[in-house]
Amino acid sequence: MRLGRDEAWAAFAVAVIAFGACLAGWLAGGVTVDIPWAPTLGIRLELELDGLAALYTLLATGIGALVFAYGAAYLPWHLEQERRPASEALRFWPWMVVFMGSMVGLACALDLVLLFVFFDLTAVASYFLIGFDRHRREARGAALMALVVTGVSAVALLIGAVLLYVEYGTFSLPELFERATPGNTTTAAAALIVVAALAKSAQAPFHFWLPRAMEAPTPVSAYLHSAAMVAAGVLVIGRVHPLLEKSDAVLDGMLVVGFVSIVVGGVLALAQDELKQILAYSTISQYGYVVVLYGIGGSAAAGAAALYVVAHAIAKSALFMTAGAVTVATGESRLSRLGGLAREMPLLAAASAVACASVAALPLTLGFFKDEQFFAAASERGGAVRVLAVVAAALTAAYIGRFWLGVFAGRRRAGARGIPGLLVAPVAVLGVVSVAGGIFAGPFVRLARDAASVTHGAAVELAPSYHASATGENLMALVAWVAGALVLVAPRVREPIARAVARAGDVAGPRRLYGLTLLGLSRLSTRLHALEVRDLRTSIAAVFVPTALLVAAGFAVTPTRNSYALGSIERKDLPLLPLLALAIAATFTVARDRGRLRPVLALSVLGFALAGVYAVAAAPDVALVAVLVETILTIVFVGAFSRLPRAPMDDRSAPRRRPHRIRNLVVGVLAGGGAFAAIWASLSRPTPRAVDAAEYIRRAPEAHGTDVVTVILADFRGLDTMVEVTVLLVAVFGVASLLRRGTVW
Amino acid sequence: MSVVFEVVAPRLLGPAVVIALALIVKGYQDTGDGFSAGVIVALAIALRYVVLGVDEAERGLPVLRHAPATAACGLLVALAVGFGPVAAGDPPFTHFPRPGAHVVHLGTLELLTAVAFDIGVFLLVTGALTMVVHHLARLVEASRA
């Protein structure tokens, strides 16, 4: 039992130290690291702990620390439920820490390639965390879905980065902000980056991976699916926002996607029965708010978005942990089987009530300010956005009220047993933080203001406060609460609608499209593979047909003038002629002889003849290697053939096939003619690397050598040799494990 | 198979090793390197397997069983020579003595770190190819039985 907990507390310690370091760095005014990584490609390890980075690193490490403490109590229970040994915790905590590290890196990265690397690292870590219960098929499927959806769309981020690099010559974001001008390239790149970010933040139509990811143990959901993984998407949007602002189309697209996500997430959250599913759809909806704010743009919206991320992460993380604690206490995870727990678990009920109030933006919580700022930013944009904002807030109030009331109020349905205090304490801490933020908003506002000034590219004013007056924002909030309460008290109207939407999503939603696409790809791959391995002919064709097509494409686009030059035969070339004649004769034997050993021997004659050509053409090193390789191949062939049965192959037992004489002839002539033309063309051109060769020859004596090839192998290109021999050794160990089940000898 | 072949083939290992050593000793001054030397030794070993069969070949030369260790050793030598300079702050594959410095000769053998790297490659290639031959031969043997 101790084993699992020690790792948890080690992870906790790492998180606390990281939190302290990030806090100190932020208060000290930022930390910058800038080291060349791949200078020839312009990629730098450019990291800065600026305002935006501070916000997300503090969330990742602070909430991380609380979730890790919670996990120290939760994971042993989870492993016991799944009948797994406590030592399995070793497969859990390292990935949690890796995730936290990549999140911190992502928050600080200012280089687009570095951003991509950390972006994918979070996806990889989340794959292992979501699929932690790997004996369960659903968990594996959910992990794969999260990886595929976020990983494939992350490629869009890389493509966008490369587009920008090609156009403006840098991957560095600060430089791009200066150089990029509005135009098609910027729009396309911005759209691609936004697609990757939206998939990560589980926005429609990529939202379907998040509810599936609830297969993960609760600490994973409380961390990744509230404050970290899904936050990574809006973090990227916040980071590249100055680029996005150069394209109105991208901003408007985000506005639409955000509102669709708010509504889809909110309505579907009303239809769910599982606690974590409600919270997952709520997360989709809540990040929709942030995306809307970034779509609105401008200084007020940037500030609101940053404040929103903080308030939501704190509250949602507390609610996920509440769901886990309730499940540990009662053994139930469905709303329909829970109720009336407030009397038995008063502290948990109070703490999660605060968190719910924060999500629903009730006064005296940090969440109130997030909606106040949201309404203020929406009002700037005018009528329709204003109405949608109120609808969004009403939906939020309705589903979060349904969550809390369903668990803690009403008739008692399932009994609760005592649970470790460690499952409640982190929720209580987050509840206290939410209330403290509602009364003394100062530190949170400062954090959000610093973050927003990075997003906006200029200083941002952000001064949330309570106004006990009939301002627009207060009225909108009031209307939203009343509408939310009406939805809440009318289950007869609410439930059929929510269920119908959920069913429509199941039948024709993006998740189904994802499933069909995956199935189609799998079938295509199976069919191609079956075709490829059908017989020797198709196996060879699988290599040569694509090669031929590529070469043919090369012919099609290369100008042919002066490509086919005829040299003259000089006296020193005469020894080549008999060798080449020998090679030709050997080739005919290989093709025509129907025996077993003779074609092999003819093949090696061909090889030796070519080795002779190398020797004559003043390439003794190549000749030596060619002779050795020919010899070893011949020995392997002879060795294998000597073990075959003596009797000749029985042609009669093989099924009769129609002879394809004409087809074979056509294919043979085309292939031979094509190869001949390709080699002729390449020999007609001077080698482009002659300059390098001359340089190597000039400098060989400096390296104390006279044999240039040896010097190149051991010195000039030593690193290449090193990699090649390493690959050789790895391949041999691979052969050993394939042939003899892993015995090395 | 002819008697001559059966008698001569197993005895080719000695000459092969001598040739391989010669390729290494003449080092930097003439054609051939660690890779070629390794292939030559592996060639003689492969020939031995073909003629004698797996059991006979390995019973007569128990040292073959150290092939994996030899290969790993070669990799370590090559890595040490290649990346040792990094510890001293030089780029990888900085060889000593530096260009222009004096080189100690033992006959034709130059005492250069580049030659040590070549010896690592030789050990690795010899060991790795011997392993491949061993596994393939075992496989052929098993399929016959």
Count residue pairs from A and B with Cβ separation < 8 A: 149
**Considering the domain boundaries, does residue A496 fall inside one?**
no
Q: What is the pLDDT of residues A221-254, one digit of tens each?
A: 999 988 889 999 999 999 999 999 898 899 999 9
List A48's β-bridge partners, or say none: A32
pLDDT score for A1:
44
List the structure tokens of B37.
């030397």
Q: What is the pLDDT of residues A340-360, one digit of tens each?
A: 888 889 999 999 999 999 998
Do residues A632 and A705 both lie within one domain? no
Do residues A607 and A742 both lie within one domain? no
Q: With an 8 Å Cβ cutoff, are A710 and B118 in contact? A: yes
Do residues A603 and A460 both lie within one domain? no
pLDDT score for A516:
92
Domain containing A698: what range? 688-745
A44: three-class secondary structure by DSSP:
strand
Q: With an 8 Å Cβ cutoff, are B31 and A707 in contact? A: yes
**Considering the domain boundaries, does residue A561 fall inside one?**
no
Residues of chain A contacting B, Cβ within 8 Å: 620-621, 624-625, 628-629, 631-632, 635-636, 638-640, 642-643, 702-707, 709-711, 713-715, 718-719, 721-722, 725-726, 728-729, 732, 735-736, 739-740, 744-745
In this structure, what is the dihedral angle of CA atoms A213, A218, A221, A223, given to the nearest 10 degrees? -150
Q: What are phi and psi of A217, to 5 degrees?
A: -60, 150
Which of A615, A642, A669 is the endpoint of a domain? A642
Which residues are within 8 A (CB) of A55 and not within 5 positions of it... i.e. 6 or more apart? A107, A306, A309, A310, A447, A448, A450, A451
Which of A448, A466, A489 is the endpoint of a domain? A489
**Considering the domain boundaries, does residue A697 fall inside one?**
yes
Do residues A14 and A103 both lie within one domain? yes
Do residues A233 and A292 both lie within one domain? no
What predicted TM-score, i.e. pTM, was given to this entire model? 0.76
CB atoms closer than 10 angstroms to residue A422 = 16
pLDDT score for A59:
94
Q: What is the pLDDT of residues A432-470, one digit of tens each?
A: 999 998 888 888 889 999 999 888 888 877 777 777 776
Which of A460, A489, A518 is the endpoint of a domain? A489
Do residues A327 and A451 both lie within one domain? yes
Tell me which residue has tokens 């951003």.
Answer: A115
pLDDT score for A11:
92
Which of residues A216 and B112 earns the better pLDDT score?
Answer: A216
Do residues A90 and A230 both lie within one domain? yes
- 3-state DSSP of A65-128: HHHHHHHHHHHHHHHHHCCCCHHHHHHCHHHHHHHHHHHHHHHHECEHHHHHHHHHHHHHHHHH
* Residues of chain B contacting A724 with CB distance shorter than 8 Å: none
Do residues A320 and A369 both lie within one domain? yes
**Considering the domain boundaries, does residue A556 fall inside one?**
no
The answer to whether the beta carbons of residues A242 and A189 sit under 8 Å apart is no
Chain B: give the shortest CA distance to residue A644, in Å. Answer: 8
pLDDT score for A219:
93
* Residues of chain A contacting B32 with CB distance shorter than 8 Å: 621, 624, 707, 710
Do residues A87 and A44 both lie within one domain? yes
Chain A: give the shortest CA distance to residue B118, in Å. Answer: 6
List A33's β-bridge partners, or say none: A47
Q: What is the pLDDT of residues A68-106, one digit of tens each?
A: 999 999 999 999 888 888 888 888 999 999 999 999 999
The low-confidence residues of chain A, meaning pLDDT below 70, are 1-4, 470, 642-643, 646-658, 686-691, 742
Domains in chain A, number? 4
Do residues A211 and A300 both lie within one domain? no
Q: With an 8 Å Cβ cutoff, are A709 and B33 in contact? A: yes
Closest CA to B58 of B2, B3, B6, B135: B135
Give residue limits of the domains in chain B.
3-144
Distance of alpha carbon B123 from alpha carbon A413, whole angstroms = 73
Chain A: give the shortest CA distance to residue B82, in Å. Answer: 7
Do residues A743 and A638 both lie within one domain? no
Q: What is the pLDDT of residues A119-169, one digit of tens each?
A: 999 999 999 999 999 899 999 999 999 999 999 999 999 999 999 999 998
Chain B: give the shortest CA distance to residue A696, in Å. Answer: 14
Distance of alpha carbon A36 from alpha carbon A467, whole angstroms = 51
